[in-house]
């Protein structure tokens, strides 16, 4: 169930934007980023999982990533991480509500030939429907994700084969005229942040490790890496096949159009080929991807909101687990995500500017810092994979800062 749960969080609405970024920079950057996809996903989340595994469960707490930070690094670090964690997972829900709203509007216009739908009506209805699912709690959400994920894996593989007859050689033209080594390095640099986000499952990692500690006890130390390995291999292999198939069915100019339209690559392909089978399959994939990603991010938002209330405002456990507090979270999520969907914020920019730089701290830097400070984790320090994790974290952080400055300067 947890392999499917991790897959469901890692490969979601954001992943459907990855083929755009992957193919937008040319053939050779696409090859390099494809080769990097597995190591820059598996090793950072393995480090984060080991960090959470070190945490103990006491005083009624679960030993999640926030509790572990407070236990080992102190309350000030806990307050900082709580704020950072919340800032990491909350924009994810904004991205997914924008995506599902745009997909419904585009499907209505291009496939049903109906222009009467209003963004002001579609956005709140979509968010309200998603909130109905999350109100039933963690177990129901993870089980729902499990039921959704298996058909989703099959559907994206089938779609990859459906796009194959439309392959063309336009992308290969970029293989000979790629601008030299400096241009290649720059394009890989630009594509790395979205590659990181395409397989991100920060929002479910803490819940996943806590569940393994409860179920396996001491054996969780061995089981967690095994489950992570299977889930990451499954996610990367299926998404690479899907992404390459979609990219070769389009031209570089069309990939630029997809980014400008703020749609997923699936919605654009459905519009381009106007084939009923592709249209229906693409919309079903987008809807299921967005739904399961939203659910995973809501779980993390609720978890971080409770820790936020505990560490920053000193709220009691009774208050934090009350119906009133849950309704407050629901109300804030509904208001902010609906507003972002109505104003149709740029999804790729939102990922690059708001989401990746903040999440990089939690996934890429916090565990490495803990490996040098916490006695129980020092045995994981000094490994070659840590250098890769650190290097990718620096690239994503610097890229995000440059993107923020570029937006402000512009």
**What is d(CA 48, CA 347) in angstroms, rounded to the nearest whole number?**
26
Do residues 231 and 3 touch, judged by C-beta distance below 8 A? Answer: yes
**What is d(CA 119, CA 125) in angstroms, rounded to the nearest whole number?**
10
The superfamily in CATH containing domain 2-409 is Amino acid/polyamine transporter I (1.20.1740.10)
- Residue 221 burial class via C-beta count within 10 angstroms: exposed 0-12, middle 13-18, buried 19 and up: middle
**What is d(CA 370, CA 47) in angstroms, rounded to the nearest whole number?**
10
- Whether the predicted model's global pTM rises above the 0.75 cut: yes
Question: Could you write out the three-class secondary structure of the chain?
Answer: CHHHHHHHHHCCCHHHHHHHHHHHCCHHHHHHHHHHCCHHHHHHHHHHHHHHHCCCCCCCCCCCHHHHHHHHHCHHHHHHHHHHHHHHHHHHHHHHHHHHHHHHHHHHHHCCCCCCCCHHHHHHHHHHHHHHHHCCCHHHHHHHHHHHHHHHHHHHHHHHHHHHHHCCCCCCHHHHCCCHHHHHHHHHHHHHHHHHHHCCCHHHHHHHHHHHHHHHHHHHHHHHHHHHHHHHHHHHHHHHHHHHHHHHCCCHHHHHHHHHHCCCHHHHHHHHHCCHHHHHHHHHHHHHHHHHHHHHHHHHHHHHHHHHHHHHHCCCHHHHCCHHHHHHHHHHHHHHHHHHHHCCCCHHHHHHHHHHHHHHHHHHHHHHHHHHHCHHHHHHCCCHHHHHHHHHHHHHHHHHHHHHHHHHHC
Give me the residue spans of the domains in the chain: 2-409
User: How confident is the chain (410 residues) per 10-residue block, as mean pLDDT?
Assistant: 83 77 88 94 95 79 80 84 75 81 82 83 89 69 70 83 88 80 87 84 85 90 95 95 92 85 76 71 74 76 76 79 83 88 74 64 89 90 91 85 68
Name the nearest CA neighbour of 11 among 270, 214, 201, 246: 201
φ, ψ for residue 345 (rounded to 5)? -60, 150
**What is d(CA 386, CA 391) in angstroms, rounded to the nearest whole number?**
9
The pLDDT of residue 241: 95
**What is d(CA 211, CA 333) in angstroms, rounded to the nearest whole number?**
25
The pLDDT of residue 245: 93
**What is d(CA 88, CA 2) in angstroms, rounded to the nearest whole number?**
22
């Amino acid at each position: 169930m947890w392999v499917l749960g991790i897959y469901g969080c890692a490969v979601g609405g954001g992943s459907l934007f990855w083929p755009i970024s992957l193919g937008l920079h040319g053939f050779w950057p696409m090859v390099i980023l494809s080769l990097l996809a597995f190591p820059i996903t598996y090793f950072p989340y393995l480090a984060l999982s080991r960090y959470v595994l070190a945490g103990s469960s006491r005083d009624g707490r679960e030993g999640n990533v926030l509790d572990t930070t407070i236990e080992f690094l102190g309350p000030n670090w806990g307050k900082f991480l709580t704020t950072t964690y919340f800032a990491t997972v909350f924009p994810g829900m904004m991205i997914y509500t924008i995506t599902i709203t745009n997909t419904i509007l585009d499907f209505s216009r291009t496939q049903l030939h109906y222009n009467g739908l209003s963004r002001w009506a579609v956005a709140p209805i979509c968010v309200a429907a998603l909130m109905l699912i999350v109100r039933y709690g963690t177990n129901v959400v993870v089980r729902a994700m499990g039921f959704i994920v298996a058909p989703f894996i099959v559907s994206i593989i089938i779609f990859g084969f459906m796009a194959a007859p439309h392959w063309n050689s336009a992308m290969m033209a970029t293989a000979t005229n790629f601008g030299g080594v400096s241009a290649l390095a720059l394009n890989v640099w630009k594509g790395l942040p979205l590659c990181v986000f395409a397989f991100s499952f920060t929002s479910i990692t803490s819940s996943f490790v806590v569940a393994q500690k409860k179920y396996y006890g001491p054996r969780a130390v061995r089981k967690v890496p095994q489950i992570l390995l299977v889930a990451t291999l499954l996610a990367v292999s299926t998404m690479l096949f899907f992404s390459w198939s979609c990219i070769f069915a389009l031209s570089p100019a069309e990939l630029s159009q997809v980014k400008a339209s703020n749609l997923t690559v699936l919605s654009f392909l459905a519009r381009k080929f106007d084939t009923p089978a592709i249209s229906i399959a693409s919309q079903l994939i987008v809807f299921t991807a967005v739904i399961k990603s939203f659910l995973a991010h809501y779980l993390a938002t609720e978890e971080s909101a409770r820790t936020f209330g505990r560490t920053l405002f000193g709220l009691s456990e009774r208050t934090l687990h009350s119906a009133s507090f849950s309704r407050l979270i629901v109300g804030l999520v509904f208001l902010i995500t609906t507003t972002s969907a109505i104003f149709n914020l740029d999804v790729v920019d939102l990922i690059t500017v708001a989401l990746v730089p903040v999440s990089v701290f939690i996934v890429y830097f916090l565990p490495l810092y803990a490996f040098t400070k916490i006695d129980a984790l020092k045995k994981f320090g000094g490994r070659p994979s840590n250098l890769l994790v650190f290097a990718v974290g620096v690239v994503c952080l610097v890229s995000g800062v440059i993107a923020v400055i570029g937006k402000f300067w512009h």
